[in-house]
A and B are shown apart, each in its own frame.
Chain A
Amino acid sequence: MHIIKLNKQIKKRFIFLLIIFICFSSSIFLISYSLKDQIAYFVEPTDLKGMNELENKYLRVGGLVKENSLKFIDGSWVFEVIDQNKNSISVVFSKTLPNLVEEKKGIIVEGKLINNTFIAEIVLAKHDENYMPQSAIDKLKEEGKWRGD
């Protein structure tokens, strides 16, 4: 008799917790789903094509620095940010670049698009999740398996 009563209580508590958990997780899911454009830290140059009224809007654009595009002209850095779909924007940045900004490496630029040129105020280097020593790369290059730069 006692055991049956206990089981009932356990079931009751379990259902109580399940309801709490489902309510909170679904509310968090709905919030993050409806805010997903705001939660995204940056957009890619391809996404810019589908956006209206880009002029003078503060944006973050991310991608790779295009090959042979990084130059220092008249006291400011000029380069192009390209994404996987080969869409790109040209960027002008007049401060010091972070150490890890290199061609064919990830970058995020923050600023405004004026006359189809992105005037960046902040530039961040974005490194990927691949870690490798130089010796492993040399070995891969010898075997012809290296797909990077």
Chain B
Amino acid sequence: MFAITPNTLSTFMNSISKYIVLLSLLLIGIAAFLIIFIENDYYQGISFKIMFIHVPAAWLSLAIFLAMGISSIIGLIFKSPTAFTIARSLSPIGLIMSIVVLVTGSIWGNLTWGAYWVWDARLTSMLILAFIYLGHILLLYSFEHFQKADFAASILAIIGMVNLPIVKFSVDWWTTLHQGSSVLRIGGPSMTNDYLITLLVSFLGIFMLTMYWFSNIFYIIIEKRKIMRSKLLND
């Protein structure tokens, strides 16, 4: 990561991005097929099928923040522009994912619990995660020099990592209206295999889509910088 320049990474991701997007569309297509044809839950009926968007988006919003935090640490310690640019291009995707989680969760909550929103630990910590993403993006664009912005935003990403275990384990540490974890939990998954496979296919599809999106944002940032640099040189 220290030897790779942002340019080489951008070129490499650009060369494989079309295969990634094809793979993601294929996986999302399979997932959509599976979601339509699997049986409804015995208790919640059809409304539980929103889980196959809600849960992948939730995993990704946490995983993207983790990746952002780790690349911010690497960026700050080793002064690596590649790591900073990775963190910079991840945060808009994370924000969208956390908004997807909140919106699909509200719809699902209204259908099952009978309320769009409650202030329990899981929902509140997830809202805080979305606000940290928003703060990260705002910090990135509130400085004239992107190096300063990267420094400030990295500190926020590192501090914000404190929130990740709180989001993940809030349902175990405190009583919440939100149900506990179904897949990543002690004692194995608490759903039948057909649901689990559908969930994993859907997750992989959305994950590949975010990777494609990530490579595009990365590419745009690098190209913008090139244009800015050539403009400065010409003036």
> With A14-B77, A42-B175 given, is the CB distance from A130 to B159 under 8 Å?
no
B114 contacts A25, CB within 8 Å? no
| A27–B181 CA distance with the chains assembled, in angstroms | 26
B190 contacts A130, CB within 8 Å? yes
A128 contacts B39, CB within 8 Å? no
Which one of B56-64, B85-93, B191-199 contacts A? B191-199
Main secondary structure of the interface of B (DSSP, over half): loop
- Chain B contributes a number of interface residues (CB within 8 A of A) equal to 44
Q: Number of A-B pairs whose CB atoms are under 8 Å? A: 115
A123 sits at the interface (CB 8 A)? yes
Q: How far is the CB of A24 from chain B (nearest CB, A)?
A: 5
Q: In the complex, which residues 55-91 of chain A have their Cβ closer than 8 Å to any Cβ of chain B?
A: 62
A17 contacts B77, CB within 8 Å? yes
- Chain A contributes a number of interface residues (CB within 8 A of B) equal to 41
Main secondary structure of the interface of A (DSSP, over half): mixed
| A123–B118 CA distance with the chains assembled, in angstroms | 12
B155 sits at the interface (CB 8 A)? yes
B113 sits at the interface (CB 8 A)? yes
A127 contacts B194, CB within 8 Å? no
Chain A residues near B (Cβ < 8 Å): 10, 13-14, 17, 20-21, 24-25, 28, 32, 36, 39-44, 62, 97-100, 102, 105, 108, 122-137
Beyond A41-B120, A62-B175, A129-B179, list 18 extra A-B contacts (CB 8 Å). A13-B76, A17-B73, A17-B77, A20-B155, A20-B158, A24-B162, A28-B163, A28-B166, A32-B166, A41-B119, A41-B175, A43-B175, A97-B114, A126-B179, A130-B191, A132-B41, A133-B41, A134-B40
A/B interface sample: 11 pairs, CB < 8 A? A20-B155, A20-B158, A20-B159, A21-B162, A41-B120, A41-B175, A97-B114, A128-B180, A133-B192, A133-B195, A134-B40
Chain B residues near A (Cβ < 8 Å): 38-44, 48, 51, 73, 76-78, 111-115, 118-121, 155, 158-159, 161-163, 166, 173-177, 179-182, 185, 190-192, 194-195
